[in-house]
Amino acid sequence: MEENTNLIESLLERAADYGKTSYELVKLNVIDKTTNSISSFVPNTVVFLVLSTVMLFLNLGMALWIGKLVGEMFYGFFIVAAFYAFLAFIMYFFLRKWVKRVFYDYMIRQLLS
């Protein structure tokens, strides 16, 4: 009888150890995925900010250049704004699902890698 009690106690201890180990493994996996996602997010954000700055100055230069060609500076800004309004219209009505799918797939790949 005492032998059965020792076996049950040993089994309970092993189950408790297994539960603790499984909990630690899940916790370490969550930490790994979170740090991996954040560490890839930060450089991407920096690159996005630099490219945004480049695009800002490129658009300002293009608007000034078009304004000089047309004769009035503000016409250049209107033309550049109209181009981006047209681009936004195209993206909203025709490319919205594609952009959403690409972003969704990127996030899933980041979380599963």
Identify the helix (H) or strand (E) that includes residue 88.
helix 73-90
The 10s digit of each residue's pLDDT in 5-58 is 788 888 888 988 899 999 999 998 888 888 877 777 788 889 999 999 999 999
Q: Report the predicted TM-score, pTM, of the whole model to 2 decimal places.
A: 0.58
Q: Where are the domains of the chain?
A: 2-112
pLDDT tens digits for 71-82?
999 999 999 999
pLDDT at 50: 96
Say how far apart CA 38 and CA 10 lie, in whole Å: 42
2 pLDDT exceeds 90?
Answer: no
